[in-house]
Amino acid sequence: MLNIHFAPLQGYTEDSYRRIHHKVCGGISSYYTPFVRWEHGSVRSKDKRDIRAQFNEGVPVVPQIIASEPDEMQKLIDAVQSEGYTRIDLNMGCPFPLQTRHAHGAGILPHPEKVAALCQIIEKEKLISFSVKMRLGLNSADEWKEILPILNDTPLQHVTLHPRIGAQQYKGMVDMNSFQEFQQQCQHPIIYNGDITTVDDILRIEQQFPTLSGIMIGRGLLARPTLAMEYANGTALTDAQVTSTLVQMHQLLLEHQQTVIPGEAALLNKIRTFWDYTEPTIGHKAWKKLKKAGNLKNYLATVNWI
């Protein structure tokens, strides 16, 4: 039985979502936070709040950071460590141009010298253990070949690999041949990430790569939050049962958001994103009605209809 890790998605897997998912569904070995970033001379206040210990009590959380320079990385490590964490995940996989053009995320992969400089920081840290989440490259599926020897010489708990290049973002096919080649050469435990939406997908990857350390799932868990629980229990739920779980989670999230977001319009804009990935589970008709609801009253009526 593989450990299942919940991948971070900006705007979705914030502290309140993680707490609720852990309470209602579970089955997750680690929840990774959306990356903590250094911006305009400081750690973003939103990121500081998201990793604050009191908002993550009882949840197995691993803060993730994104950096391209040693000084930047050290400041982020200090900020995370100040909250009492002893684990950090370094993002070298974010595919979005807003990050990659600054050599952040997958944008660092064409620059082995930058990766080496960050790894020197990791080697010096004595109180924090690290992992890395990465892609095959930014523009080429061979870029990892210059990065992996650096990572092999760095003390890491594991490496998570999403076998696409950054330029693909989430389009096109995952490159399983390159994943296999990477795994054969990597001297750290490997976690697979990419296009996992069903228990059968988990079992297929588990069978294909029997030495994996775990599987990381993001969008698939947002669409079907019971996925890890179903895998752990060996029991598949019906779409109706999963939808019931979604409604339960939504209610808890709504109750929380009502306490922190003033105004119905802002609340609706925030809470509606809960359903963004759920169309395969709740059906197109219900999903479209939720998206088209023009005010909070109609939106909540649609949730009750579901």
pLDDT band of residue 41 (cuts 50, 70, 90) is: confident
Best CA proximity match to 81, nearest among 114, 31, 125, 112: 125
pLDDT tens, residue by residue, 82-116: 999 999 999 999 999 999 999 999 999 999 999 99
Say yes or no: 246 and 221 in one domain. Answer: no
pLDDT band of residue 235 (cuts 50, 70, 90) is: confident
Say yes or no: 198 and 280 in one domain. Answer: no
Say yes or no: 149 and 209 in one domain. Answer: yes
pLDDT recorded at residue 42? 85
Say yes or no: 26 and 128 in one domain. Answer: yes
**CATH number, position 112:** 3.20.20.70
Best CA proximity match to 144, nearest among 185, 100, 109: 109
Q: What separation, in Å, do the N-terminal and C-terminal C-alpha atoms of the chain show?
A: 33
Q: Select from 207, 233, 259 the last residue of a domain.
A: 233
Q: Select from 233, 262, 281 the last residue of a domain.
A: 233
Say yes or no: 142 and 265 in one domain. Answer: no
- Parent domain of 288: 239-305
How many domains is the chain built from? 2
Say yes or no: 175 and 71 in one domain. Answer: yes
Say yes or no: 74 and 163 in one domain. Answer: yes
pLDDT tens, residue by residue, 1-29: 899 999 999 999 999 999 999 999 999 99
Say yes or no: 226 and 243 in one domain. Answer: no
Q: List Cα–Cα distances, 45 to 27, 108, 210, in angstroms.
A: 30, 25, 41
Q: Please, which residues bridge with residue 5 across strands?
A: 30, 216
The answer to whether 118 and 90 are in contact (CB under 8 A) is yes
Say yes or no: 155 and 44 in one domain. Answer: yes
Q: Select from 174, 207, 233 the last residue of a domain.
A: 233
Say yes or no: 228 and 244 in one domain. Answer: no
Say yes or no: 154 and 247 in one domain. Answer: no
Q: Please state the pTM of the whole predicted model.
A: 0.95
